[in-house]
Chain A
């Protein structure tokens, strides 16, 4: 019954917030279109240029460097999606418990045998699991379609797609790494997700302003009064740490491309470039999850106890 309710509630979120899949799909459409346009434009030049642009003239390019570059390029396609995913998550959370109060549909939802805890948790599930999963599926789809288009184009201009793309690339590794990243980002930023959901449940107006003002004002006040930077560190370092997390694998790829040392081809791996163990064992991750849980508890309390229309 609890599982059935969760499934129904999550499905309802997807009906209401179509941006969850429309946003990544729009980005995918733009990217695929850009890939097509790029290939057609390149075809205006000679085929030598075309194949060189693939970073891999069969004759004289180091296969490991080619492999690393290709892995970096294909993984990098996901970058825009990850940034968009986080922005989408912020807007989703701020709307999730606010819109139902604004249009008073909360009275209808609460007339059904579903508890407040179940409802709030379904919104959390969407933020930390459904949005990432949808984002991952669209990233994988975009990578696949782009690669297929590139293969077709390569065959037209006389390149060997099988050799240049499909044998050089480990898609399972890229997808594995991407999957880790899409779930790691919301987990790492979960205290923000909890905070946004609480603001959404509690504020009477302007959830965006109410959510962001303290994030900027608290560090300022702290700096002026105490001349310390505890809040600034808490808010901004945590946010930027996620960029470092992504950079870790970015650097790894760069190493493969730039280093003159011979690299073992099997070590060119997106999964291998992510320090999953370090991430899971990081006490800051768990501290953040606890803060998120406290905010979620507060959001449930507010939805349940506030006596308002």
Chain B
């Protein structure tokens, strides 16, 4: 596997605040990595450092380049969608295509036109005349037509309705993703993307709390639904988190053998959202 991103002891300070605190990780080619964290956890700062939009301490290499110092070379092979509102509102769709075509060596205009033909977006419309969902479609059509190795999505579906959100991710998989490409995505709507992720990373207070492939999560973590005595017995296996659902206890275990727990109640693989809550509360406690 080729490592696309290598981070070693990366930090970023804003005054006394450590937005990113001494993190190290790798992102391999062909992965879809979900970066999950609460507001202010340092997700956006970390993404900005990866995109060369901000300077940082430590060793950071993206596609073998120093992102801050070699941003122009980097941007030929990286695309990013920051959030839905960033396309300039005054520009016409055709002008946007013209501009990207003239500055981006890896942009395939024909491909973008094909993708746009599947939408209701007119070439002579201005961005301000399009709905929020259409703006995102437009942005994704442009991005999908760029032959880039890494796509970074920061809350790409913010403010979109459920239909557009579903469509966005299915288009992302069908039009964009293949084994040569890598996607890094952050979102609050974790449940909508967890089935497309190959890897997940939790970040809280600038630190990485979890960095794991999705398969490992199913092996490593298990959720038990138990009631009464069984719940008390299960507590002996030291769940990392416990919550109430309809009078029953839902307990989350890390590294505990499923065969020990199965007599005590129903077992599930926890959702990313539940795992995240458990991990964050566990880290705080």
Contacts and interface: CB of A to CB of B under 8 A. Distances in A.
A113 B88 contact: no
A111 B55 CA distance: 16
A284 interface: no
A7 B102 CA distance: 9
Contacts of B51: 111
Contacts of B139: 108
B176 interface: no
Contacts of A100: 88
Given A8-B102, A8-B103, A16-B90, A113 B55 contact: no
27 contacts: A7-B102, A8-B102, A12-B95, A16-B88, A16-B91, A103-B89, A104-B82, A104-B83, A104-B86, A105-B86, A105-B87, A105-B88, A106-B86, A107-B86, A108-B87, A108-B88, A111-B78, A111-B79, A111-B81, A111-B82, A112-B100, A113-B72, A113-B73, A114-B72, A305-B55, A307-B53, A307-B55
B88 A103 contact: yes
B69 to A, nearest CB: 11
A16 B82 CA distance: 21
A115 interface: yes
B82 A8 contact: no
Top 5 nearest A-B pairs by Cβ distance?
A105-B88, A8-B102, A113-B75, A107-B82, A307-B54
B75 A104 contact: no
Q: Which of B76, B90, B98, B100 has the largest count of A CB atoms less than 10 A from its CB?
A: B90
B86 A8 contact: no
A-side interface size class: 20 to 34
Interface string A33-72: 0000000000000000000000000000000000000000
A110 interface: yes
B92 interface: yes
- Chain A binding surface SS class: helix
B277 interface: no
Contacts of B76: 113
B282 interface: no
Interface residues of B, number: 36
A4 interface: yes
Interface in A2-32: 4-5, 7-9, 11-12, 15-16
B86 A108 contact: yes
Contacts of A5: 102-103
Contacts of A114: 72, 75, 103
Nearest to B76: A113
Contact of B104 (A16, A104, A112): A112
Contacts of A307: 14, 45, 48, 53-55
A183 to B, nearest CB: 27
Contacts of B75: 110-114
A15 B127 CA distance: 13
Contacts of A106: 86
A9 B75 CA distance: 16
Contacts of B89: 103, 105
A25 to B, nearest CB: 19
Contacts of B53: 110, 307
Contacts of B102: 4-5, 7-8
A63 to B, nearest CB: 52
Contacts of A16: 88, 90-91
A147 B90 CA distance: 38
A217 B98 CA distance: 45
Interface string B58-91: 0000000000000111111011111101111111
B246 interface: no
A56 B242 CA distance: 101
Contact of A113 (B45, B48, B82, B103): B103
Contacts of B81: 111
